[in-house]
């Protein structure tokens, strides 16, 4: 049964498995480990470990029947599918110098995967590569993947990395397990059905090194019983670092599998250790690994509940969406409604407008001066409401122009004005702000034209066009905004883009709720825009070269693309944004933007990644181009806006 129930968490990480030895009585294996032990699934060998194809061929008296663990009939199809992960024989070595062993390994690998596929298993665990070369192993796995059904192949990888301060070890001569995985998956061309199962040891690499794996396709973590410590009461427990790692696995839908033999004595009582697992077989021998399962369940249940916002966003995690084009397209009612629910954003806008009104109109003239405020891109009126509430809060008189180009939103705006009785306060203008001839100049210009990358919904072009009806000393809210990027490992996002099998999708920027990503360096600023512009001359084209230092304790990593964010100053000290270090809490109007790379770039430990970004403009469109210049060169993506652009 699941480790526990947490609001909003329906991920696979709720289920904990156990690694078993070969047993040709699969019904007993399931009964003992699931019914008695409380585990949710087993990782079980499918083939007798003594089997070798070459020996069977010599023994001509044999029946020719392969020594698999039981017939497919001993369990129902749903039991095989839901409760068994196949485990390929650990002896196989497809890159062995011994030709007989290599050939036996190739034959056995294909036989076992074929049997697992016949059983409709959801996944099969492959043994780790042996030695430094894995080319033939990867070739055979890649062949299998080409004709495989929906089954996943989990490559077992020991979680080790040489740290720079390892005593007596030259890190350049010790294999980093991530590099082992990277070599294998590159040979298999990032196949979407090839994933990782990490072997967790008693010692762990640095936090930065561990962080790389959260951007990879990790499906399971096999925690060996040797990794557990013993607490004062005799229970198995994990170190603080191991606890943080396991919690991270839970948060990234990575399943825990208990591996190894019992190395702790049984505690007498478990009532004070939180667990949802009940012994279903009265008087039966207790499963030797049950205390480890109980502890994993305890870690799962003591995790903080997902905040309401995170529960709302779960369905959007790592889901690629095309950015909005509100200037070229008219938004739908559902889109407006989603953004209007973001109260945090409008609270920040109201704070900024309050400060602007107080600066604009002194207390002694609050009843004399009527401030002219224009909301450009008013939508269905949330900024109009925030502006009028700011006027009421500060005791200032306000005249509002609500400028909106979407005729459907204008209908809603008219209804809102009548419903709220704002007819004497609000004038609705159904027009593109760039083409409107305003009857008077504005004291304050308010807009919410920002995109995930700041300027990617053409806020600069729109506000430049609207600036002509702002007074010389007028205030723009926002007053400035800056875009940011950072290199990321994002295996799932890369695989999803690659699945389209075309250039267009690799040269498109996507809005995405980033989750299974590894952030390889701190974000750096890219383009900044300030309003109102001091000079109407000049262009909104931009170019920036950025240098990212990859921390030496991270080890090597693969850059699949770049995460983009923005930070905006609304007015003075009031800001909002999604750049991780300064992100506005509990605001959900914007997800990050993702710029993919056609070919991922491998960066070594302590190396420098040189990235170039361009913002390009023509009379009809705006687009971005990007490339990597070092440590290896990539093509310039989206040249001349051939794949992705924003229409003016």
Among 268-272, 342-346, 573-577, 625-629, which stretch is predicted with the lowest mean pLDDT?
268-272
Q: How confident is the model at residue 58 (pLDDT cuts 50, 70, 90)?
A: low
12 carries an active-site annotation: no
> 38 and 179 share a domain?
yes
pLDDT reading at 536 higher than 50: yes
Nearest to 451 by CA among 637, 577, 342, 352: 577
Number of domains in the chain: 3
> 409 and 506 share a domain?
no
Q: Per residue in 577-589, is it b (16+ CB within 10 Å) or e — as a string?
A: bbbeeeebeebbb
Residue 320 lies in a domain: no
Residue 232: the pLDDT is 87
> How, if at all, do strands 442-446 and 646-647 pair?
unpaired
Q: How confident is the model at residue 163 (pLDDT cuts 50, 70, 90)?
A: low
> 200 and 80 share a domain?
yes
Share of the chain above pLDDT 70, in %: 92
pLDDT reading at 9 higher than 70: no
pLDDT reading at 265 higher than 80: no
397 is in an annotated binding site: no
Catalytic residue, from 457, 461, 507, 625: name it: 457
Q: Strands of 621-630's sheet, edge to edge?
A: 542-549, 608-617, 621-630, 646-647
Residue 276: the pLDDT is 45
548: Cβ contacts below 8 Å, ≥ 6 apart: 486, 487, 520, 521, 524, 608, 609, 611
Give, in order, the Cα–Cα distances in Å from 95 to each of 86, 91, 105, 132. 22, 12, 9, 9
Residue 282: the pLDDT is 38
Token output for 91: 């002896």
Average pLDDT over residues 219-244: 94
Q: How confident is the model at residue 55 (pLDDT cuts 50, 70, 90)?
A: confident
Residue 174: the pLDDT is 61
Residue 11: the pLDDT is 78
Residue 471 lies in a domain: no
Residue 457 lies in a domain: no
pLDDT reading at 310 higher than 70: yes
Residue 403 lies in a domain: yes
Residue 284: the pLDDT is 47
Spatial separation of the C-alpha atoms in residues 184 and 404, rounded to whole Å: 54
Final residue of a domain: which of 426, 448, 470? Answer: 448
Is 201 within 8 Å of 180 (Cβ atoms)? no
> 338 and 233 share a domain?
no
Plot region of 82 (φ>0 → left; ψ -120 to 50 → alpha; else → beta): alpha
Final residue of a domain: which of 448, 474, 497? Answer: 448
> 346 and 248 share a domain?
no
Spatial separation of the C-alpha atoms in residues 336 and 323, rounded to whole Å: 15
Place of tokens 């007819």: 423
> 245 and 102 share a domain?
yes
Token output for 244: 């943080």
Q: What is the pLDDT of residues 364-416, one digit of tens each?
A: 999 999 999 999 999 999 999 999 999 999 999 999 999 999 999 999 999 99
Nearest to 197 by CA among 217, 182, 179, 180: 217
5 carries an active-site annotation: no
Q: What is the pLDDT of residues 185-197, one digit of tens each?
A: 999 999 999 999 9
Residue 131: the pLDDT is 84
Residue 165: the pLDDT is 44
Residue 312 lies in a domain: no
Average pLDDT over residues 285-306: 90
567 is in an annotated binding site: no
Mean pLDDT over the full length of the chain: 91
Q: What is the pLDDT of residues 324-365, one digit of tens each?
A: 777 777 889 998 998 899 999 999 999 999 999 999 999 999
Maximum mean pLDDT: which of 38-52, 261-275, 532-546: 38-52
Q: Residue 369 maps to which CATH number?
A: 3.40.50.150
pLDDT reading at 125 higher than 60: yes
Residue 418 lies in a domain: yes
Q: How confident is the model at residue 208 (pLDDT cuts 50, 70, 90)?
A: very high
Catalytic residue, from 19, 106, 112, 448: name it: 448
Handedness of CA 346, 348, 349, 354 (dihedral sign): positive
Residue 431 lies in a domain: yes
> 263 and 345 share a domain?
no
Average pLDDT over residues 22-31: 95
Give, in order, the Cα–Cα distances in Å from 259 to each of 44, 126, 222, 247, 266. 11, 15, 6, 18, 17
336 is in an annotated binding site: yes
Residue 370 lies in a domain: yes
Spatial separation of the C-alpha atoms in residues 397 and 553, rounded to whole Å: 58
> 224 and 353 share a domain?
no
512: Cβ contacts below 8 Å, ≥ 6 apart: 316, 318, 319, 320, 321, 493, 591, 592, 593, 594
Q: Residue 537 maps to which CATH number?
A: 2.70.160.11
Coil, strand or helix: which one is 473? strand
pLDDT reading at 268 higher than 80: no
> 507 and 627 share a domain?
yes
Final residue of a domain: which of 304, 325, 342? Answer: 304
Average pLDDT over residues 572-594: 95
Q: How confident is the model at residue 2 (pLDDT cuts 50, 70, 90)?
A: confident
- Whole-model pTM: value is 0.91
> 428 and 508 share a domain?
no
47 is in an annotated binding site: no
Nearest to 248 by CA among 563, 518, 523: 518
pLDDT reading at 277 higher than 80: no
pLDDT reading at 531 higher than 60: yes
Q: Residue 87 maps to which CATH number?
A: 3.20.20.150
Q: Which domain holds residue 51?
A: 12-58+66-304
> 172 and 246 share a domain?
yes
> 524 and 387 share a domain?
no
Break the chain down into helix, strand, coil percent, rounded to 5. Answer: 30, 25, 40
């Amino acid at each position: 049964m699941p480790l526990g129930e947490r609001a909003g968490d329906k991920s696979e990480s709720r289920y904990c498995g156990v690694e078993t030895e070969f047993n040709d009585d699969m019904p007993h294996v399931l009964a003992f480990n699931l019914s008695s032990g409380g585990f949710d699934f087993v990782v079980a060998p499918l083939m007798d470990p003594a089997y070798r194809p070459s020996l069977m061929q010599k023994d001509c008296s044999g029946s020719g029947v392969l020594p698999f663990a039981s017939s497919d009939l001993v369990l129902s199809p749903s039991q095989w599918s839901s409760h068994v992960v196949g485990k390929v024989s650990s002896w196989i070595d497809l890159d062995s110098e011994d030709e007989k062993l290599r050939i036996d390994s190739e034959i056995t690998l294909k036989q076992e995967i074929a049997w697992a596929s016949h059983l409709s298993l959801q996944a099969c665990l492959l043994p780790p590569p042996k030695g430094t070369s894995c080319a033939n192993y990867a070739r055979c796995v890649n062949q299998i993947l080409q004709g495989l059904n929906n089954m996943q192949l989990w490559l077992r990888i020991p979680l080790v990395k040489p740290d720079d301060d390892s005593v007596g070890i030259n890190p350049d001569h010790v294999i980093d397990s991530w590099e082992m995985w990277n070599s294998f998956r590159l040979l298999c061309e990032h196949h979407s059905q090839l994933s990782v199962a990490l072997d967790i040891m008693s010692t762990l690499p640095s936090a930065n090194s561990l962080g790389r794996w959260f951007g990879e396709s990790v499906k399971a973590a096999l925690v060996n019983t040797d990794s557990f410590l013993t607490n004062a009461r005799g229970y198995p427990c994990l170190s603080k670092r191991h606890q943080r790692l396991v919690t991270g696995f839970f948060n990234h839908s990575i399943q825990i599998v208990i591996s190894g033999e019992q190395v702790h004595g049984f505690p007498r009582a478990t009532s004070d250790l939180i667990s949802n697992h009940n012994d279903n077989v009265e008087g039966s021998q207790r499963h030797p690994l049950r205390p480890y399962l109980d502890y994993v369940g305890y870690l799962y249940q003591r995790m903080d509940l997902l905040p309401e916002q995170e529960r709302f966003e779960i369905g959007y995690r790592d889901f690629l969406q095309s950015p909005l084009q509100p200037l070229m397209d008219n938004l739908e009612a559902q889109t407006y409604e989603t953004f209007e629910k973001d109260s945090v954003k409008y609270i920040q806008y109201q704070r900024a407008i309050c400060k602007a009104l107080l600066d604009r109109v002194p207390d002694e003239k609050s009843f004399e001066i009527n401030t002219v405020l224009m909301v450009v891109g008013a939508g269905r009126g949330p900024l109009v409401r925030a502006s009028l509430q700011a006027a009421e809060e500060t005791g200032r008189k306000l005249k509002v122009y609500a400028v909106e180009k979407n005729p459907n939103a204008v209908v809603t705006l008219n209804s809102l004005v009548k419903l709220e009785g704002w007819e004497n306060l609000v004038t609705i203008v159904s027009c593109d702000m760039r083409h409107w001839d305003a009857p008077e100049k504005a004291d304050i210009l308010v807009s919410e034209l920002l995109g995930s990358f700041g300027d990617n919904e053409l806020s600069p072009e729109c506000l430049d066009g609207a600036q002509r009806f702002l007074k010389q000393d007028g205030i723009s809210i926002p007053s400035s905004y800056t875009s940011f990027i950072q290199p990321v490992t994002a295996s799932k996002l890369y695989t999803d883009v690659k699945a389209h099998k075309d250039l267009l999708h690799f040269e498109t920027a996507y809005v995405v709720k980033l989750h299974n990503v590894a952030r390889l360096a701190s974000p750096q600023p890219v383009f900044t825009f300030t309003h109102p512009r001091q000079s109407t001359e000049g262009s909104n084209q931009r170019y920036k070269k950025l240098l990212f230092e990859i921390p030496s304790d991270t080890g090597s990593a693969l850059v699949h693309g770049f995460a983009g964010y923005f930070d905006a100053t609304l007015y003075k000290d009031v800001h909002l944004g999604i750049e991780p270090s300064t992100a506005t809490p509990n605001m959900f109007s914007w997800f990050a933007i993702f710029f993919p790379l056609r070919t991922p770039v491998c960066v070594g430990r302590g190396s420098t990644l040189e990235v170039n970004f361009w913002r390009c403009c023509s009379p009809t469109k705006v687009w971005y181009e990007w490339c990597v210049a070092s440590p290896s060169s990539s093509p310039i993506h989206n040249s001349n806006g051939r794949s992705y652009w924003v229409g003016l």
